[in-house]
Amino acid sequence: MANASTRKYILKILPFASVALFFGAWQVIVDVGIVPRVFLATPTDVVKLLVVKLYQTKPDGALLVTHTWVSLQEAVYGYMLALAFGVPLGLLMGWFYTIEGLARPLFEMIRPIPAVAWIPLTIFWFGIGMSGKVFIIWLSGIVPCVINSFTGVKLTNPTLIQMARTYGATKWQIFYQICIPSALPMVFGALQIALAACWTTLVAAELIAADTGLGFLITMGRRLVRPDMVVLGMMMVGLTGFVIGIVVDLIEKRLLAGIRR
């Protein structure tokens, strides 16, 4: 019994110990000069800059909260548009052959093109403001939404479809009452995949063309040779993406629980 409780205690402590060891080793490596400060900032340097950026806009022209808020807005708008267009299109393509015949060739032409490859054209069309980055994020997020929704419908049990037809159900009734519910697990899977694609693409777009945002913060750190700014931007990207992922996961669980009831 004692061994079991000790094991549980160790398992709880290990994650914190590994994180502490990582940051401790990082601090020592830079402090003793194994890696020069010009190449890598220490954790304490990053924390100091974090505190300063909460109330000071220098040297990049915006507060950290502003950079984070701008990136968050762009990601959410692009992500929601990707879901709003991608999921219905994928579901319709999966069930109606006419829609699949019309939309799939164009989709297959666009799908292999990385979203970041559209950035130069997007700058021509929209400039470096929010609308351009929302468009890029939409392009990256719509692909997994369409693919997962399409696949979900195609994986619908044919026995259920045949049974519904036997009882006189129309094509639209089968689509709404059988195909869409059957496709929901794949659709919910698209939520997380699209989120990761959108967030990664956003940062890439901001690294190339932006005047605010976390990607812009990283770019300014590179230009000013400020590794603390670069690391702070990277950490905020990871932390914000992690929080968004948790929120999406909670929403997914709530929706699934409601459907099961």
pLDDT number for residue 83:
93
pLDDT tens string 182-222: 888 889 888 888 988 888 888 888 877 778 889 889 989 98
pLDDT tens string 143-192: 999 999 999 999 888 888 888 888 888 888 888 888 888 888 889 888 88
CB proximity list for 215: less than 8 A, separation 6 or greater: 71, 202, 203, 204, 205, 206, 207, 233, 237
Tokens read off for 76: 């959410």
Burial status of residue 106 (CB atoms within 10 A of its CB: 0-12, 13-18, 19 or more): exposed
CA distance between the termini of the chain:
39
Cα–Cα distance, 134 to 138 (Å, whole number) = 6
pTM of the full predicted structure? 0.83
Cα–Cα distance, 243 to 234 (Å, whole number) = 14
Rg (CA), the chain: 24
CATH hierarchy code of domain 39-260: 1.10.3720.10
Mean pLDDT for 117-133 is 86
Confidence of residue 1 (pLDDT cuts 50, 70, 90): very low
11 has a pLDDT exceeding 60: yes
Cα–Cα distance, 249 to 21 (Å, whole number) = 29
Confidence of residue 259 (pLDDT cuts 50, 70, 90): low
260 has a pLDDT exceeding 60: no
Q: Residue ranges per domain, the chain? A: 1-35, 39-260
227 has a pLDDT exceeding 90: yes
Burial status of residue 192 (CB atoms within 10 A of its CB: 0-12, 13-18, 19 or more): middle
pLDDT number for residue 142:
93
pLDDT tens string 54-112: 988 888 888 999 999 999 999 999 999 999 999 999 999 999 889 989 999 988 888 88
Residue that the structure tokens 């669980």 belong to: 253
Cα–Cα distance, 122 to 28 (Å, whole number) = 44
